[in-house]
Structure 1
């Protein structure tokens, strides 16, 4: 993490890694009560070395600004970064605005929580840059109104068992997660909207659960080719423990990918990341994975 203070302008800024998350398992446990019933779950989350970069600094402007190298990412009030900064001002009473540049590497509609991580990262950074002093638990509570995945990034150090709608966080130690070795992530040429996956899953409530991720059934109803991709991750690339993260469409497995070019030729437009590892953070710090040379890129 880099903090720079400009002497003349008295502006502070930092460059932070915004990690994606993976669900190593996800089980649907029921629904919340009406009038707005939502599926409840139990799932193990941990942060990974696939993610985005965020440069954020204070500004004298009277509104926040956001730039992103991915033109498909909205940079207005629809973005969780902008929403998180507004929540920070409302909760803290601060009038400070921010300038943000996002270098996007985590794919959208992949089940990796990239947008949620961005929002959590911005909320943490705003608290640090203004020296407001809210605790991580307080920030996690504030983040609940932005989405169910955000509290995980703030209330844990990078590993947790999550329940409820995903917003009840029970932190785990890095040792409890264990050493996964290298993980391989595969993002098909298509994404999957989370509401659509849950809707398809609900049509089959009561059916036999999936081995590692119950939402796989809903995802496969929308995109049956996921089954072929998962099978070839095992048969062609030689990976083990292949599963889907979150509501998809991203799949992951363990090991070193073999015959990678054969696999990519069979699935044009598919993105593959190899040698992905868990990342964690220390108390009072953000996720410390800021080595450009080690930054995970698609292969």
Structure 2
């Protein structure tokens, strides 16, 4: 019997850069929130090897796919090949900053664990996920998490979830690598203690968003016209708005799903979707 996993998208409520790491990665601190936009991962046993499929024609189905990397990590963890057929039903847009690839990898790992009856706890899954990609450990958290290091340090945190989101993605962006390179060239390094003190004093999601995304500046440098998306979200009733990750998706925070749905009609020229804060799937 196949395992079906709903793999949620995420937004970065804020994201700040703390500096370079000796391993070549970037030290960050970010508040991430899972949201109710899902890819669907279907995991089924096979005689041998890995067979990947997807409804998204542009998605690579070779060893570069995050799901293929996740499968290899799980095989290594148990010391044997776990023959599998894994289908990736894409709904989260690619190259959006919504974490679709990382969530798909985590979903595949959960599906594999279920299908083979592997008893692996969330903390161990986070460690295994870190070998797949920097954002993967977040998807083994509770849904609202403070993420530190290069992404491998995940601490669940209680934050407001009484809001709705409108996600808006323009048909352009910049690579994550280029975004971080540009951000580190001239951006003031965030102070971790200041950010944490500010975080624990706040109860409003809009104030948390105001902590900012360090990757917005390089995005707007590459695409100055994208600033109009933020302005338009605010005119449409959003109480706060920001770029998620390195983009290219923006999110607007609304008081409820009805006002977000009304605002959705004002962005017909772009991919757009409403969503709510969400929890992670059970392992």
TM-score bracket for the superposition, by shorter chain length:
0.7 to 0.9
Q: Deviations over 1:59-112 (max 9, x none)?
A: 11x211111111111111110101111111111113221111111010111111
- Which residue is 2:204 aligned to? none
Matches within 5 A, 1:161-180: 161-172=146-157, 176-180=158-162
Matches within 5 A, 1:1-299: 4=1, 13-33=2-22, 36-60=23-47, 62-154=48-140, 156-172=141-157, 176-206=158-188, 211-235=211-235, 237-255=236-254, 256-257=259-260, 258=262, 260-264=264-268, 268=269, 270-274=270-274, 276-281=275-280, 285-286=282-283
* Structure with more relative contact order (C-alpha pairs < 8 Å, separation 6 or more): 2
Query: What is the CA–CA distance in structure 1 between the aligned matches of 2:106 and 2:280, rounded to whole Å?
Result: 14
Of residues 198-207 and 68-77 in structure 1, the stretch that sits farther from structure 2 once superposed is 198-207
**Which consecutive residues of structure 1, in runs of 5 or more, have no partner in the other structure?**
5-12, 287-299
Cα pair 2:164 2:277 within 8 Å, conserved: no
Cα pair 1:41 1:166 within 8 Å, conserved: yes
**Which consecutive residues of structure 2, in runs of 5 or more, have no partner in the other structure?**
192-209
Q: Deviations over 1:239-295 (max 9, x none)?
A: 22011111111100122244644432xxx3x11112x1111147xx25xxxxxxxxx
TM-score by length of 1: 0.82
TM-score by length of 2: 0.86
Alignment root-mean-square deviation, CA: 1.9
Count of residues paired in the alignment: 260
Q: Secondary structure at the match of 1:101?
A: strand
